[in-house]
Structure formats: structure tokens, C-alpha cells
Amino acid sequence: MSTIKLTVNGRAVSADVEDRTLLVHLLRDHLNLTGTHVGCDTSQCGACVVHVDGRAVKSCTMLVGEANGANVTTIEGISKGEELHPMQAAFRDNHGLQCGYCTPGMIMSAIDIVNRHGGNLDEDTVRHELEGNICRCTGYHNIVKSVLDAAGRMKVSAAAE
């Protein structure tokens, strides 16, 4: 057992958990942030992606100890109150989700993709960069559309700030 202290969605949190606890389980089971999902056991599906210190990582492949002291953002922490993050809005407007299970991980990965590439995104790049996120419902067509749309929106909202 260890005491883990980290910042999640801007809030300082602390939890006493077994060392074998994965970040995803800390979020889901101890902090009740169930928006982050688990879709596989082999670190391949991306349903669990969150941001740790600004980088999109698989929370199923990180021990809580590794995240100790880190700044974690989950799907629950990206909108500003009622106002959706541009990526969330783009997923909704472009029908980038169906069952919604892969969606939190997709959105967190997609934000990271846009952060890295800025406006220089094309369809091929988006498809390639989404390699680590599996969706069984959408066939990716509208996810790709959503990410490209959001890239434009994020540029605009960054310029406005």
C-alpha cells in the first residue's frame, strides 16, 4: 500500500491504494471518474487514454506510483462547465461516436494529436495517429471527420484566448 497524491482535473487528490493499482483503476474505482474505460488487457485499444502531464497515455499501462505527483486530465475534466471542449463538440456534430465506449479515449488521444500537429493535419495523418485507439462502431469515418473539424475549431479558440 502507498499513499498516492496527484492532481486530477485540477483537483488535488490523495488515495491509499495497493502498489499494483493501475491509474485507470484509481480513476474509476477510487475517484469515481468512470468516463475512462477499459477495453483490453494488452494495452492496445486506447479506451483508457488520459492526459498525464499533458501527454496522452494509456492509463491501463501506468502504475499509480508512476503517476504520483502528476497532473492528470480525464474526459470529465476537459469541458469548461457547460461549454464543451471543441473536440467534444466536433465529435457530437460529426457523429463521431455511436456506443460511446471508445469515445473518451478517442477524444483524449485526438486532443493530443491536434496539440502536436496544430493545423497541419490531413486525413492520412489523423488515421495514422489514431492507430492506438480501436472503435468497433463508427468505422472511423466520422471520427476522422471530427478530428479534422476540431483541429480548425481548436485553432480558432486558441487564437481567441
Partner 1 sequence: MGVEGIGASVVRKEDRRFITGKGRYVDDIKLQGMTHAHFVRSPHAHAKVKGIDSSAALKMPGVVAVLTGQQIVDDKVGNLICGWAIHSKDGTPMKMGAWPAMAPETVRFVGQAVAVVIAETKNQAKDAAEAVVVDYEELPAASDIRAAIAPGAPQLHPEAPGNVVYDWEIGDKNATNEAFSKAANVVTLELTNNRLVPNAMEPRAAIGDYNDAEEHFTLYTTSQNPHVARLVLSAFYNIAPEHKLRVIAPDVGGGFGSKIFIYPEEMVALWASKKVNRPVKWTGDRTEAFLTDAHGRDHLTKAELAFDKDNKILGLRVSTHANFGAYMSLFSSSVPTYLYATLLSGQYNIPAIYAEVMGVYTNTSPVDAYRGAGRPEASFVIERLMETSARQLKVDPAELRRKNFVTVFPHQTPVIMAYDIGDFNASLDAALKTIDYAGFPARQAKAKSEGKLRGIGFSCYIEACGIAPSKAVGSLGAGVGLWESAEVRVNPVGTIEILTGSHSHGQGHETTFSQLIAERLGVPISQVQIIHGDTDKVQFGMGTYGSRSLAVGGSAIIKAMEKVEAKAKKIAAHALEASEDDIVIENGEFKVTGTDKSIALPMVALAAYTAHNLPDGMEPGLKESAFYDPSNFTFPAGTYICELEVDPGTGKTSFVNFVAADDFGRLINPMIVEGQVHGGLTQGIGQALLEGAVYDSTGQLVTASFMDYAMPRADDVPSYKLQHTTTLCPGNPLGVKGCGEAGAIGASAAVINAITNAIGNNKLEMPATPDRVWHAIHGQA
Partner 2 sequence: MYETHYHRASSVEDAAALFAKGSDAKFLAGGQTLLPVMKQRLAAPTDVVDLAKIPAMIGVEVSGDTVTIKAATTHYDVATNTALQKTLPALAHLAGMIGDPAVRYRGTIGGSLANNDPAADYPAAVLALNATVKTNKRSISAEDFFKGLFTTALEDGEIITAVSFPVPAKAGYAKFRHPASRFALTGVFVAKSKSGDVRVAATGASQNGVMRVPSIEQALKANWSASALDGIKVSADGLMSDIHGAADYRANLIKVMAQRAVTEAG
Site residues for ligand FAD per CB under 6 A: 43-44
Which parts of 30-49 interact with partner 1 (CB under 8 A)?
A: 33-42, 44-45, 47
For ligand FAD, the closer CB: 43 or 157: 43
Of 78, 102, 113, 147, the residue at the interface with partner 2 (CB under 8 A) is 113
Nearest Cα neighbor of 89 from 155, 160, 33, 146 is: 146
For partner 1, the binding residue among 4, 130, 151, 154 (CB under 8 A) is 130
Report yes or no: 8 and 74 within 8 Å, Cβ to Cβ.
Answer: yes
Note whether 15 binds partner 1 by CB under 8 A.
no
Let me know: does 87 contact 126? Beta carbons within 8 Å.
Answer: no
Task: Name the residue type at position 109.
Answer: S
- Which partner from the list partner 1, ligand FAD, partner 2, none does 51 bind, CB cut-off 5 to 8 Å by kind? none
For ligand FES, the closer CB: 62 or 78: 62
In the list partner 1, ligand FES, partner 2, none, the entry touching 73 (Cβ below 5 to 8 angstroms by class) is none
Beta-ladder partners of 63: 22
How many angstroms separate the Cα of 150 from the Cα of each of 34, 58, 82, 144, 146? Answer: 24, 22, 18, 10, 6
Exposed e or buried b for every residue in 7-42, given b needs 16+ CB within 10 A? ebbeeebeeebeeebbbbbbbbeebebebbbbbeee
- Shortest Cβ distance from residue 42 to ligand FAD (Å)? 7
**102 in contact with ligand FES (CB under 6 A):** yes
The contact set with partner 1 (CB under 8 A) reads: 18, 20, 28, 33-42, 44-45, 47, 74-76, 79, 84, 88, 91-93, 95, 97-104, 107, 123-124, 126-128, 130-131, 133-144
